[in-house]
Amino acid sequence: MANNNTEAAFTFSWLALKLLGRGLYSNPWNALSELVANGLDAGATDVHIYIDATNKTDATIEVLDNGSGMSRSDIDSYVTVGRDKRKAEDDNRGVDQPMGRKGIGKLAALFLSPHFYISTKHVREASKWELDARDGKISDDEHPQLASVLDVPSTPNDELWNATTTGTRITILGVDLTGYGPQAIQALNTRLANQFLLPVSEKPRVLLWVQRVGKSQDRAYEPVEKSTAFGNFTEILHRFNNTEYRPLELSGGLPVVKIPAKGIPGGIFSCTQRLEPLEELPDEIDGWAELGDDLNLEDRTYKGRPFALTGWLGVHATIKSEAAQANDSRFAKNKFYNPAQIRLYVRGKLASDNILPQLGLTGTYVNYIEGEISFDLLDDDELPDIATANRQDFDQTDKRVLLLRALIRPLVRRLMQGRNNLAAAITKNADDEKSRRETAGKKHFSQQLRLDFAHYEEIPQAARDELHSIISNKIQGDVAPKQKYRIFISHASADQAFATLIDELLRARGAREDEIFYTSRPGATTVSTDANALREVVRRNITDDNTLVFYLTSKNFMKSQYCLFEGGAGWATRAVSEYLKLNVEFQAIPGWLTNGRAEAILLDSGGEIILTPEIHNYLIEGILNPMIDHLNRGRDIIGEDQLRRYVRRELPSVVEMSRSSESPEDYFDPDIVEHWNVIVEPAMPNYLSLYHGPTNHV
């Protein structure tokens, strides 16, 4: 017989213990949470978890707490499997309501590895123990035993343990973490945090340090923290009998939540988060009849035992990761974490990671529900134990589980209906916006049509009016006018300085890049070496959208096949009032590009290009403001802010300017002057040399 002071044998055989462990835990993290729960039950204020995963086939896991530790009699209790620790006064040494009940949590260490050490410090004594049930050390029929030892393997936690007055340290060797990649280990912090309901105050704490290949070996414990994306909920129901357990996010101001919404300005629907009390007994209840006389709603008791539903339930604004993270960066949806879950806690420990599927609810927004609910009636000391064999769920036929479902189901329905109401509001806003855009689009189409007809003086006014009426009435029917208004800058690459000037002056007024098709913009990705691909891009921008075409004509323009293609496409699809021009010289204006407007020429009589009052004013009145007016029509349709026009100041007479020592440049728009000086003027020497040379480049 073994010496009772140096050995303590488990009450089950090694084969029975292995089978029990496999049935209890589905992965190392669930087993690890049991070891943490043991420390918390022992009254620990700090539980440290250390994982050395530098060699995942032979990892080390260590759990160290500063709880009450274990005496020699506690070691005997440790090896007794199935002992109800709540009924043993000597086991209830740490907390009033321990999480554990059946005395099987010690199997967690055996699940992780057949070889581990226990160091423990109790107020009466300290001791060290080893269990070694590796292959060849023990047969399946034998009972494993803890053997007293003088030393345990050294780890980076030696200093931390030496500073601990009372507590327990479990060092587990040879843990196989193969198959658990960096993402799984990185998600461990959140998974461990979700295993428990702890006060939001500093104590007790669970701290984690994972050593991995390529990571610093310095001790780096971090508190495990829940990463619930509270900022992504549109509505939250909550109730806490003890406010120490209420998340901090439910105590502050209410955030504005954004929901992706096609068809409304900006594509975003915003609403203020609603925070409402969680009504324990909602007005509309189903399932009470199944509970019979065991339930007393007036006293809120079941079989004479009080019950309370506490915690929070919320409905997400969106479950699309990018949009949800814009509301709260903590949002995650991957194989390691799914926000569509209601976590159930009993006595502060996770009892079921998701009871949402058990509610039997369907609908678009059932997968938008997340919550954390406590219902301690499921593990009441005075009622039968209904936990399943793996201790990770409950007997679904028990009336207490039916009561829980009956309490939660109407709350979830309420949240889903609230999210449905938001969806309906978004749909109405989108419909209203569509109607407004169509009305505005038809108005601008009618105005543009009248301007176009004004260029055909050979058509009698009465005929023009009649045509205008017929076409305008037609557009009021099923035909929808174009709603995307754009500017198309057609130019040769050699004339880039002038095209860039126009592009940047428009953007200086707030025009977006997507409102201006300009292939020479630095960093633009529209340019293609494939001529067919480029032609397709040009065709879409000229014909599919309501596009105002701007031609920058020059000898370079005339020599470019792309420019001629763009010019032909614009000429064939535009009314005479729907394109603008800026010309380097008269001789380079294509004969088919004329709309009866005054022509502005950049080259002066001396062959130079400088910013004269005539060029400055033409840039404003003949190019920039017509472009801005065009874009503003589109912005009016889609409900965006209007762009500010450029203002041309009237020049005083030469005599008046002389009297005040002024020059024409003093009356130029400062933005135009700045852009001209930065973009155009430095490029002119080389540009003019090439332009006037025997050949010029496209």
Distance in angstroms (rounded) separating the CA atoms of residues 27 and 59: 15
Query: Residues 260-281: what's their mean pLDDT?
Result: 89
pLDDT at 298 over 90: no
Distance in angstroms (rounded) separating the CA atoms of residues 628 and 636: 12
Q: Which is it for the CA torsion 89, 93, 97, 98, positive or negative?
A: negative
Residue 449's H or E segment, with its range, is helix 399-453
Structure tokens at 389: 């064999």
pLDDT at 214 over 80: no
pLDDT of residue 575: 47
Residue 407's H or E segment, with its range, is helix 399-453
Q: Half-sphere exposure of 212 toward its Cβ, with a 13 Å CA cutoff?
A: 13
Distance in angstroms (rounded) separating the CA atoms of residues 675 and 441: 33
pLDDT of residue 285: 59
Give the tens place of pLDDT for each residue, 521-545: 776 654 444 445 445 555 555 555 6
pLDDT at 465 over 80: no
Q: Residue 271 class from Cβ within 10 Å (0-12 exposed, 13-18 middle, 19+ buried)? A: middle
CA dihedral 629, 635, 636, 638 (to 10 degrees): 160
The answer for residues whose C-beta is within 8 angstroms of residue 86's C-beta and 6 or more apart is: 92, 98, 100, 101, 381
Distance in angstroms (rounded) separating the CA atoms of residues 651 and 665: 10
Q: Output b/e per residue, 615-654; b: 16+ Cβ within 10 A.
A: bbbbbbebbbbbbbebbbbbbbbbebeebebbebeebeee
Query: Residues 616-635: what's their mean pLDDT?
Result: 92
Which of 622, 611, 618, 625 lies closest to 665 in space, CA to CA? 611
Q: Are 39 and 47 in contact (CB under 8 A)?
A: yes
pLDDT at 416 over 90: yes
Of 3 and 676, the structure prediction assigns the larger pLDDT to 676
Structure tokens at 507: 């953007």
In this predicted structure, which of 7-21, 122-136, 475-489 has the lowest mean pLDDT?
Answer: 475-489
Distance in angstroms (rounded) separating the CA atoms of residues 358 and 341: 11
Distance between start and end Cα atoms, the chain? 101
Distance in angstroms (rounded) separating the CA atoms of residues 254 and 275: 8
Give the tens place of pLDDT for each residue, 92-120: 455 555 655 455 667 888 889 999 999 99
pLDDT at 577 over 60: no
Distance in angstroms (rounded) separating the CA atoms of residues 42 and 170: 14
Which of 15, 1, 25, 212 lies closest to 109 in space, CA to CA? 25
pLDDT at 418 over 80: yes
In this predicted structure, which of 228-237, 296-305, 565-574 has the lowest mean pLDDT?
Answer: 565-574
Distance in angstroms (rounded) separating the CA atoms of residues 261 and 182: 35
The answer for residues whose C-beta is within 8 angstroms of residue 98's C-beta and 6 or more apart is: 41, 85, 86, 91, 92, 347
Query: Residues 344-369: what's their mean pLDDT?
Result: 92
Which of 147, 370, 145 lies closest to 247 in space, CA to CA? 370
Which of 230, 247, 248 lies closest to 317 in space, CA to CA? 230
pLDDT band at 576 (very low <50, low <70, confident <90, very high): very low
Q: Which residue's entry shows tokens 């209410």?
A: 254
Chain-centre distance of CA 156, in angstroms? 37
Reduced to 3 states (helix: H, G, I; strand: E, B; else coil), residue 11 is: coil
Q: Are 575 and 546 in contact (CB under 8 A)?
A: no
**Residue type at 81?**
V
Query: Residues 649-678: what's their mean pLDDT?
Result: 91
Q: Which is it for the CA torsion 593, 596, 597, 601, positive or negative?
A: positive
Chain-centre distance of CA 231, in angstroms? 10
Query: Residues 48-75: what's their mean pLDDT?
Result: 94
Q: Are 274 and 352 in contact (CB under 8 A)?
A: no
Q: Residue 318 class from Cβ within 10 Å (0-12 exposed, 13-18 middle, 19+ buried)? A: buried
Which of 519, 560, 567 lies closest to 542 in space, CA to CA? 567
The per-residue pLDDT of the chain, averaged, comes to 84
The answer for residues whose C-beta is within 8 angstroms of residue 642's C-beta and 6 or more apart is: 632, 635, 636
How many residues make up the chain in this entry? 698
pLDDT of residue 694: 67
Reduced to 3 states (helix: H, G, I; strand: E, B; else coil), residue 212 is: coil
pLDDT band at 3 (very low <50, low <70, confident <90, very high): very low
Query: 459: which DSSP letter?
Result: S
Instruction: Tally DSSP H helices, then E strands, for the chain.
Output: 19, 24
Q: Which residue's entry shows tokens 């070996």?
A: 217
pLDDT of residue 597: 59
pLDDT of residue 698: 47
Determine what percent of the chain is predicted with pLDDT higher than 90: 44
Reduced to 3 states (helix: H, G, I; strand: E, B; else coil), residue 349 is: strand
Query: Residues 492-502: what's their mean pLDDT?
Result: 91
Of 64 and 290, the structure prediction assigns the larger pLDDT to 64
CB atoms within 10 A of CB 523: 5
pLDDT at 411 over 80: yes
Q: Are 343 and 31 in contact (CB under 8 A)?
A: no
pLDDT of residue 81: 82
Query: Residues 349-356: what's their mean pLDDT?
Result: 90
